[in-house]
Structure 1
Amino acid sequence: MTDQIVMVAEARMAGKVFPQAFLGFDVSKDWIDVARHGGAGVVRLANDEASIAGFLADEGPIRLAAFEPTGGYERGLRRALRDAGVAFARVHPNEVAAFRIRRGLKAKTDALDARLIADFAALELDGRGLKPLVEGDEVLRELTARRRQLVDALHAERCRACLAEARIVRDSLAAVAAALEASLAALDAAIAAHIAADAALAGTARRLRSLKGVGPVTVATLLGELPELGRLSAKEIASLVGLAPRTRDSGRTRFRATTGHGRPGVRRVLFNAARCAIRHNVPIKAFYDRLVERNKRPGKVALTAVMRKMLVTLNAIARDQQDWKHAQNA
């Protein structure tokens, strides 16, 4: 699902309606190329908030700005757009790639990408009825992402240690593993302190944990990387995370429905939460057993269904700000 902000109304100055621009931003580490839909030129800006803010101030009425996620280099752009009150959309690269193919474009440069994104905003995004983008807790998101990196690095070091024979290599691996463990413990403490310092976050975290099988890592990841939790419908939240089955049929051929894309970090913690729930959560275990035994679903398919059910339940808990209804009996 594309992250979006609702489009602003047409600007009016001195009683006149001015045409509003559709802007495409191609973001890189050091600079940003900006193109206007229907315009001839491309402007290159330094990738810092002051340069972007100055450009936006001189640009005039803007109906919609669009850009692709770049792993963090777009953060300054997002803040500048938000501070300027400009409607913007963060578009998935796959959508832009498909749009490129439909337009028959083969050349690829930063300037061409900016123009393509501007055209995509005007010709595709403008008619979708964009929803408000939910701004999450950037500090918590960064903390949870860093925790996942440390867990992966620690797992890799432990796997290497199982195969190492030379003493110096084993000592090196043990030293690195110990440092990672210490850093991970400090990060866990920082995450817990950050959540506890915010009464609203702390209250939501406590309610989410009322669903048996959901632990502190799952809660922190949901709060940090899924700020839309509680604000979307069951189908929308499942689609956003990547747990909505996608059918693919052609003629008489029926392919197996698949899931994917979305928020892999969230799916990862839900996978572990689901494995715990099917052992210790009575209603969830009954749901899983019914899928496997009565409906003859493969174990992995049933587990994915459990992940979706838990996500939908957590979404309802966050929306209603109430504990799980079976908390006392699970």
Structure 2
Amino acid sequence: MNEHAVGIDVSKKKLDICVASGDKIKTKVLRNTPAGHAELDDWLKQRGLPLTTPIVLEGTGPYSEAVAIVLADANWAVSVVNPARITGFAQSELSRNKTDKVDAKLIARFAQRAKLELWEPPSIAVRELRALVDRLQALMDMRQQELNRLEALGQGTPSSVQNMVKEHVDWLNVQIKRLQSDIDDHIDGNPELKHDADLMQSIPGIGRRASAQFLAYIGDVRRFKSAKALAAFVGVTPRQKQSGTSVKGRTVISRAGHRAARKSLYMPGLVAKRYNPVIVAMSKRLEQKGMRPKAIVGASMRRLVHMIYGVIKSGTPFQADIPLAGLEVQEGI
């Protein structure tokens, strides 16, 4: 058990911090801004905590990553954990109340007792890639909204607004095409990203956009100890609900993981069901067993994650004719 530990509950606008020293606690609330992150670093040092003190945050995407990067760059022992672990710990503690302050205390107690792995901040190249990918997605969402608006306007009396919307769609198309080119140039200009993207794209079902998104959200997959660990982080591991002879629920993917990374694999999962020979064979077996189509897509996504881990970890492009035993080694199953 760690004598000192720090738990941080992250929300969009603020950070609820709890420092646990034995049974004593100290709490503080700071803004979730660059200034607040710098103030947090100073406050922790003022309390005389050693840099080896475990600092735990839940993985909540960009809101938690920004402060985690600042703390990691300052050489603190940062761990970004799956929210499902905190939820499970709360249940074991019979925690009834849920407020930001209570959650911070809970995370601090978890940090005192749990076996933690240090979090590695993404490289500058990956951070830039993520910014580009997020911007591309925002523009594509905006374009879809405008296309929906254009369709609705087309059902009524012709209006000058239609031309305005069409002009905006045309502008968005230009910006999207330019941004896609920028993403390709950024990957091509970074040998590590280029190497991993090429390996990913050797897998049938994974294209340029999917590889860029996955690398942007996951970074270097080699930091995971196994393909199973990567699948758990993404949230595509199977979750069973079965007890005795009376409770036999459907098996579904857990979804307790990185939502954006998981979303980036949905369309590749659908494509792989039709064109990736390994996944095609798997899908047919699952269909014969009566698995529902949606669950098969989840299984396809999980298998893709194993393949991604396998090709990047081994440095070998995907080969469909690898024997099953060899494939299992390549995928890290």
The residue that corresponds to 1:52 in the other structure is 40
2:147 counterpart residue number = 158
CA RMSD of aligned residues (A): 2.9
Q: Note closer, same or farther for the CA distance 1:45–1:265 as it changes in structure 2 (3 Å cut).
A: closer
The number of residue pairs the alignment matches comes to 306
Mapped contact 1:135–1:227 kept (Cα < 8 A): no
TM-score (norm 1): 0.80
* Structure 1 residues 197 and 97: CA distance shift in structure 2, 3 A: same
Question: Aligned equivalents of 2:277 and 2:91: distance in 1?
Answer: 49
Q: Does 1:271 align with 2:261?
A: no
Whether the aligned pair in 2 keeps the contact of 1:270 and 1:307 (CA below 8 Å) is yes
In the TM superposition, 1:139-150 aligns within 5 A as: 139-150=128-139
Instruction: Give the aligned partner of residue 25 of structure 1.
Output: 8
CA–CA separation in structure 1 for the residues paired with 2:141 and 2:252:
26
Structure-1 residue corresponding to 2:175: 183
Alignment partner of 1:248 is 2:241: yes
Structure 2-normalised TM-score? 0.79
From 312, 315, 320, the equivalent of 1:321 is: 315
Kept in 1, the 8 Å contact 2:82–2:233? The answer is no
Give the alignment partner of residue 306 of structure 2, picking from 309, 312, 319: 312
Deviations 1:21-47 (A, max 9, x none): 211223456654432213343234454
Map of 2:105 onto structure 1: 115
Deviation at 1:300, TM superposition (A): 2.7
Instruction: Map Cα deviations across residues 39-72 of structure 1 (whole Å, 9 max, x no partner).
Output: 3432344542432332233232242112234553
- Structure 1 stretch displaced more, 36-45 or 194-203: 36-45
**In the alignment, is the contact (CA less than 8 A) between 1:212 and 1:327 conserved in 2?**
no
Cα offset, 1:75, TM superposition: 4.1
1:211, 1:327 within 8 Å by CA — same for their partners in 2? no
Amino acid corresponding to residue 203 of structure 1 in structure 2: H
The 1:269–1:23 alpha-carbon spacing in structure 2 relative to 1, beyond 3 Å, is: closer
Q: Tell me which amino acid in the other structure corresponds to 2:44.
A: L
Corresponding residue SS for 2:9? strand
The structure richer in helix per residue is: 2
TM-aligned CA distance change 1:179 to 1:84, over 3 Å: same
SS in 1 for 2:252: coil
Instruction: State the match for 2:24 in structure 1.
Output: 39
Residues 1:74 and 1:265: Cα distance change in structure 2 (over 3 Å): closer
Work out whether residues 251 and 295 of structure 2, in 8 Å CA contact, stay in contact via their aligned partners in 1. Answer: no
Corresponding residue for residue 221 of structure 1? 213
Distance 1:110 1:255, change over 3 A: closer
Of 248-257 and 140-149, deviating more is 140-149
Please say if residues 229 and 237 of structure 1, whose CA atoms lie closer than 8 Å, have aligned partners that are also in contact.
yes
The secondary structure found in structure 2 opposite 1:41 is: strand
Between the two proteins, what is the percent identity of the paired residues?
A: 26
Q: Aligned AA for 2:42?
A: G
Note if contact 2:200-2:311 (Cα within 8 Å) is conserved in structure 1. Answer: yes
Show structure 2 runs of 5+ residues with no match. Answer: 323-333
What's 2:166 paired with? 174
Preserved contact between residue 3 and residue 112 of structure 2 (Cα < 8 Å): no
1:89 aligns with 2:79: yes
Partner Cα separation in structure 1 for residue 12 and residue 205 of structure 2:
40
* CA pair 196-24 structure 1, distance change in 2 beyond 3 A: same
